[in-house]
Structure 1
Amino acid sequence: MRLPAIVLMLAAGLIVGPVLGLLDPAAQFGTMLSPMIAIAVAIILFEGGLTLDVDHLSDAATGVRRLVIIGAPLGWLMSACALHYVAGLSWETSAVFGGIMIVTGPTVIAPLLRQAKLAKRPAALLQWEAIVNDPVGALAAVLAFEVVVVLQTATGAGHAVWQLAMGIGVASALGLAGGAGLAAAFRRAYVPEYMKVPVLFVVLLAVFAVADSVLHESGLLAVTLMGLWIANAGLPSFTELYRFKEHATVLLVSGVFILLAAGMSFDRLMVLDWRAVVFVAVVILIARPLPVLIALAFTNVPAKERILVALTGPRGVVLVAVAGLFGERLVELGIPDGDRVAPLAFALVAATVVLHGFTLSPVARFLGLSAGEKPGVLILGGSRWSVELALALRKMGQVEKKGEKGEVKKSTGLPVMIADPNHARLRGAREAGIDVFFGDILSEAAEERVELIAYEKLICAAENDAYNTLVATDLAPEFGRDNVFQLKRVKETSSRHALPATLGGRPLAPQQTYFEANAAIAEGYEFRVSTLSEEWKLENWREMLNGAVAVAELTPGGRLRFLAPDEDPQDRPGTRILSFTEKREERREA
């Protein structure tokens, strides 16, 4: 649908909840609703911690550090001021809610980044800031709440400080101990492979519950640290663990967001007035951008990236969940405007999710920070066949435009890169002006230097069939299995050497092995690009290029699709067809 998923969840929750009255979470789940959401948020934050691989932070480290150390306190201060002076809340409520507003929402950032296809560094800045600031924001709210409790109940300040320090210390110790213990148990094979995910869940919930019993919401810090430790432990089974957790998180984010939206009643939403609208505008235009720009000043982060990060601050599940909890506690303490916290939090989340959901991609493209404006292709193997295919793909995506003086200009075409661990085999690609990566595409160097998000399709066309199968299988979850293709294996017709469907990539037309494909190039075959029109249809293409095999098509809307061996391209005007056919006689002679 090409719509932000979070926006659809928000709409679904509002429709089944306040609008139609089909779902009332508080009535139907009762006292189980709060612990359900708490556990879901804990699992979501743990999965966020699993993405914090320190080795991948690289040049974004300085920016992230400043966003947390400088940007978070400034954001807390400016948010509290906006709540007090614009929304009209008391200083007690503003201090607590302002701390929660530091959280920018990894549960919202992740799907938005996946859709927007940002360049590597701004994406890393936004993701790391969101994940690290989640527990920081919750703890800031805890600190402010403890101060409010001291002022309201006249409890000793020393006791509050001691409780806060004890809670943070216990949470940190539990999180690191849980991560280290699990990593050691998995590495030494104390846990069977099929039991690793259940054991992971049990330890995660235990760590969260124990830390939360010492200091409320400190469990968020514990599970984040636990995920951080496991992410950097170098476990062989980490990829399988992370993928399962990622799938669970998608379900939990969807469910929690719909439940929270459905739990909003019209009576609670009616609390919002014009001051709430102005408050949301001030947060989006001032309280978010200003702290970010101050924090990133005088760093190596380019100005365009600073602007993008400053203008991107969607709030998510954690903000609504924690704000609702502290709002109730403030009311219990006798602070009347505590009941306005939940509706304001919901309004802020709804506004930022919708705004950034629809504007992040256009703003990134405008600033030149989008890594995937066109459907790129990554080709494994630097053979002559790969070079010819890369050149044809670039030509396929070229668009002719007339300049101011009437001259015809061509765009750069589709982004294509050829990767090969053999430097000599990349010579032809370099001479043809094609982007190359020298090294193993599965290496850590490739993760750091290759913007995989810029490439939509993967074609495994190296000389070694086993290596093609390995790369196709390993990167299939990254690209999507429908977008990974592989040349025909030499012995795949033999039952002794046939592989299951779960391994390798999809067949690519024409069905040729590495040696057959390159032999055909040597014998005079070529890749050719043809464009259909109202007058020149698919039937004319077949007549003119008798014997040609359609390899891919590029629709007028810019969608690139590689065709199966028995699949025909669409007969639509403007469609570009990439075919593999014999060279024309005049071109042979040339």
Structure 2
Amino acid sequence: MAVDIAHHAVSALPLKIALIGTLGIGAQWLAWRLQRPAIVLMAISGLIFGPLLGYLLGFNLPGPIEHLFEQLRLDPVNDFGELYRPMIGLAVAIILFEGGMNLRFRDLSDTRHAVGRMVFVAAPIAWVLGTLAAHYIVGLAWDISVMVGGLFIVTGPTVIMPLLRQAHLKTRPANVLKWEGIVNDPLGALFAVGGYEFIRFSLTEASMFFVFGKLAFAAIFGTLVGIVSGIGMAWAFRRGHIPEYLKAPIVLAWVLLIYVIANRLADETGLLAVTALGMTMANTKFAAMVEMRRFKENIAIILVSGVFVILTATLTPAILREFVTNWRVLAFVLTMMILVRPIAVMVSTLFSGLTWKESILISFIAPRGIVAVAVAGLFAAELNALGRADGTLFVPLAFALVFATVLFAGFLISPIAKMLGLAAGGGQGVMIVGANPWSLGLAKAIKDMGINVTVADTNWRRLRGARLEGHQTFYGEVLSENADYSLDHSAFNVLIAATPNDAYNSLVCVEFAPELGRHRVFQVPAQENDEEDGDTIAFTSRGRTLTSRGRSFDALTRDWWGGWRFRSTNLSEAYTLEDLYNDRGNDVDLILTKRQDGTIDFIQPGQESRAEGMTVLSFSPPPKEKQEKGAIRGEGAKKSGGLAGPSKPLPS
């Protein structure tokens, strides 16, 4: 009988693993479609297929339905047995490595002072106040309260990023929130590791000096292992000792190996080691960052999705009942949100350069993310193994705080930002993807009209002209996850894809359309009026056509080198659109209009009449009198045997 039960459990395990993956990735996709934080949808998935199905199985259900529910119900502790704890540990190690990979110190330059205050002043204050709240409100022992207070200083970057895109905050508060989340995510986990190590060492009844000495040794040892291993991996990449196709798999294996080795050499130092490993590789120059981003975008997303579903499914009806009925849990969550966080932020940002409005906004926007729940689930199991049953409250406290902070921030970040005047004017600005002579000329013309411009390209040299003109630039792939962290999404509300690759332009527009709105993503077409061409990319899978004539990238580039330039013209009753055509020719391309209130509208084919009475940006040949003078000079040059002019006109 026992053999049959074991065989049944093993045979059902592949279905459970597939179900966990489907629920996690399905929740991520649905969150993308709905533009909502994925963490909430993943939690709902785990609750439905975990405790809810377990609760329904307690009723007298018809046989087929009961059998179906038994097959679909997730009970990770029993499903995975002894593999549960090490499996969660390995997943958390990879998640923390991914967090460390996001921390590049050179990206902190603009907000280094404020972020430093948030990390080195606000985080310890929040740790102390959170510890007091966990002890006096929830009733946890001091040592576990220290773990709870340390872990809950985190603000998950995977939750912060969608919120910042949704709210269009001004650059400074947006950068502080973004980088605080990136830095504090692994830092909070390390605080929890320190608290756990203190509990574990103290059980040996050793002296406090010995306990703190071992704790310091573990921290230093784990950090050194991570730094040395990171330098070694970067060295191997630079020297070409690892082929391109093996880089991503080797990084995954290396992270797991370092985690296990560090834990073997000094217990529970693996999380420190992999976090330091990620930070070292993020700040070491080598030419394999694309592979690292691919690793993060694929493996880390799968693990984050799966771990969150697993941890939610481990909640039992009894825990959920306590979660709802225990006033201490609610009081703890409210205290963390309306007292601990605001006090820590307001104290730490005094004389930091932030305004009081920015400090208020930052103090109320602190959504916790996957790391808080994953680490809480890991240490709840570890504390239970040490005989500390009160550690089981770790998980419901984490879920309560995550749900409350994510929902609060998701619904209120935009109204609070607008009330405080910290919304970036609707994100009024333009991002141009693709640096080339024509697009850089367009960027300069738009900037001259008083509109912010960001130029993005994967080639550093092509961005040189944009940097010299003083434009904001983004060096990297706008479709990568790295762009979520490094690209200032609040700086623009219109996107123009202007590369020679039509398929890539379409992909960029489709990626940004849910965020900006499809009416605000434009691309330079591959050929004239290609929206009506049945052989090109479907209308629903591309951006809107840029310019009133809808000319192709090749045609626009040819005209640029033929002397065409961008010009801004105020249209009125005295000087109409017809006058502009008479002066510049009927081939003139209209790009955009700017109203008196500063709002801009891009003109598509057939919408030329919308330019009347506006300031219009056009792409046109030189005025007719200049063309005639140029022709005369050209004839004279021919007669004298000289050249008519440079083969390529100098950019304006």
Is 1:236 matched with 2:287?
A: yes
Note the 1:208-227 alignment, pairs <5 A: 208-227=259-278
Residues 190, 234 of structure 1: CA spacing in aligned structure 2 closer, same or farther, 3 A cutoff?
same
Shift of 1:152: 4.8
2:551 maps to which of 503, 511, 517: 511
1:80–1:525: structure 2 CA closer, same or farther, 3 Å change rule?
closer
Q: Aligned in 2, Cα 1:516/1:214: closer, same or farther, shift over 3 Å?
A: same
Q: Which stretch shows the higher mean deviation, 68-77 or 233-242? A: 233-242
CA distance in 2: counterparts of 1:551 and 1:352, whole angstroms: 43
Distance 1:191 1:477, change over 3 A: farther
User: Secondary structure of 1:459's match?
Assistant: strand
Corresponding residue number in structure 2 for 1:432: none
Contact 2:495 2:509 in 1 (8 A): no
* Contact 1:101–1:319, Cα closer than 8 Å, also in 2: yes
Compared CA separation, residues 158 and 515, structure 1 to 2 (3 A)? closer
Corresponding residue of 1:324? 377
Match of 2:300 among 249, 252, 261: 249
Once the two structures are superposed, the pairs formed by residues 92-491 of structure 1 within 5 Å of their partners are 92-149=143-200, 152-272=203-323, 273-371=326-424, 373-374=426-427, 376-379=429-432, 386=442, 390=446, 417=453, 437-438=469-470, 441=473, 451=488, 453-459=490-496, 468-469=499-500, 480=511, 483=521, 485-486=523-524, 488=526
Q: In 1, Cα distance between the equivalents of 2:115 and 2:220?
A: 23
> Contact between 2:567 and 2:618, CA under 8 Å: does it hold in 1?
no
Aligned residues: 505
Q: How far apart in 1 are the matches of 2:505 and 2:268?
A: 37
Change in Cα spacing, 1:524 to 1:299, as seen in structure 2 (3 Å) is: closer
Q: Distance in 2 between matches of 1:472 and 1:436?
A: 29
- Distance in 2 separating the partners of 1:110 and 1:480: 15
Q: Deviation per CA, 1:168-227: give whole Å up to 9, x if none.
A: 122111111121111111111111111111111111111122223345553222222222
Structure 1 residue 283: Cα displacement: 0.6
Where 1:271 maps in the other structure, the secondary structure is helix
- Structure 2 CA distance for aligned equivalents of residues 185 and 422 of structure 1: 29
SS of the aligned residue for 1:480 comes to helix
| TM-aligned CA deviation for residue 282 of structure 1 | 0.6
Q: Who is 2:22 aligned against? A: none
The residue type paired with residue 204 of structure 1 is V
- More moved, 24-33 vs 209-218: 209-218
CA distance in 2, matches of 1:175, 1:475: 41
1:3 corresponds to which residue? 36
The aligned runs of 1:527-566 (5 Å cut-off) are none
Tell me the amino acid that sits aligned with residue 284 of structure 1: M
1-side partners of 2:509 and 2:233: how far apart? Answer: 26
The 10-residue stretch of structure 1 (509-518 or 298-307) with the greater mean CA deviation from structure 2: 509-518
Equivalent position SS for 1:86:
helix
Question: CA 1:552/1:135 → structure 2, altered by over 3 Å: closer, same or farther?
Answer: same
CA contact (8 A) 2:247 2:291 kept: no
Aligned counterparts of 2:349 and 2:166: Cα–Cα separation in 1:
25
Contact 1:93 1:330 in 2 (8 A): no
Q: Distance in 1 between matches of 2:442 and 2:602?
A: 15
1:399 match:
none
User: What CA deviation, in whole Å up to 9, does each residue of 1:308-346 have, x standing for no partner?
Assistant: 221122222222232234334444555453332222222
> Would the alpha carbon gap of residues 243 and 154 (structure 1) be closer, same or farther in structure 2, given more than 3 Å must change?
same
**Cα distance change, pair 436–79 in 1 and its aligned pair in 2 (3 A):** same
Q: Distance in 2 between matches of 1:507 and 1:111?
A: 27
Contact 1:25 1:262 in 2 (8 A): yes
Whether the 8 Å CA contact 1:175–1:224 is kept in 2: the answer is yes
Q: Give distance in 2, aligned partners of 1:141 and 1:253.
A: 19
Is residue 456–residue 479 contact of structure 1 (8 Å, CA) maintained in 2? no
Deviations 1:341-383 (A, max 9, x none): 2222221122112222322333334334444724742346578
**Alpha-carbon distance in structure 2 between the residues aligned to 1:418 and 1:96:** 43
Instruction: Output the CA distance in 2 between the equivalents of 1:523 and 1:134.
Output: 46
Q: Matches of 2:197 and 2:251 in 1, distance apart?
A: 32
Q: How far apart are the structure 1 equivalents of 2:319 and 2:199?
A: 24
Distance in 2 between residues matched to 1:315 and 1:153, nearest whole Å:
33
2:115 corresponds to: 64
Distance 1:112 1:299 in 2: 24
Distance apart, 1:505 and its partner CA: 9.7
Aligned residues of 2:430 and 2:492 also touching (Cα < 8 A)? yes
Deviation at 1:254, TM superposition (A): 2.0
> TM-score with structure 2 length normalisation?
0.65
Structure 2 segments unaligned to the other structure (5+ residues): 1-33, 55-72, 514-520, 531-541, 572-585, 594-599, 608-615, 621-652
Q: Decide whether the 8 Å contact of 1:47 with 1:242 is kept in 2.
A: no
Partner letter of residue 123 of structure 1?
A
Identity rate of aligned residues, in percent? 37
Is the contact made by 1:60 and 1:125 (CA closer than 8 Å) also made in structure 2? yes
Contact 1:139 1:217 in 2 (8 A): no
Distance in structure 2 (CA, Å) of the matches to 1:457 and 1:87: 48
8 Å Cα contact 1:271/1:340 also seen in 2: no
CA distance in 2, matches of 1:220, 1:478: 39
1:102 alignment partner, SS class: coil
In structure 1, C-alpha distance between the alignment counterparts of 2:187 and 2:389, rounded to whole Å: 26
1:527–1:581: 8 Å Cα contact kept in structure 2?
no
> Deviation at 1:162?
3.1
Give 1:416 deviation, angstroms: 5.2
- The structural deviation recorded for 1:297 is 1.4
Which range moved further: 117-126 or 42-51? Answer: 117-126
Q: Quote the Cα distance in structure 2 between the aligned partners of 1:131 and 1:525.
A: 42
Q: Show CA shifts across 1:448-478 (max 9, x none).
A: 99845422544366xxxxxx44999699769
2:133 is matched with which residue: 82, 91, 96?
82
1:388 CA drift (Å): 11
Instruction: Work out the CA distance in 2 between the residues paired with 1:105 and 1:329.
Output: 23
Cα offset, 1:155, TM superposition: 2.4
In 1, Cα distance between the equivalents of 2:373 and 2:145? 15
Q: Taking structure 1 as reference, are residues 180 and 76 closer, same or farther at Cα in structure 2, changes over 3 Å only?
A: same
Shift of 1:489: 8.6
Cα pair distance change 1:522/1:142, threshold 3 Å? closer
Structure number with the higher helix fraction is 2
1:267 to partner: Cα distance = 0.9
Provide the C-alpha distance between the structure 1 equivalents of 2:220 and 2:454, rounded to a whole number of angstroms: 49
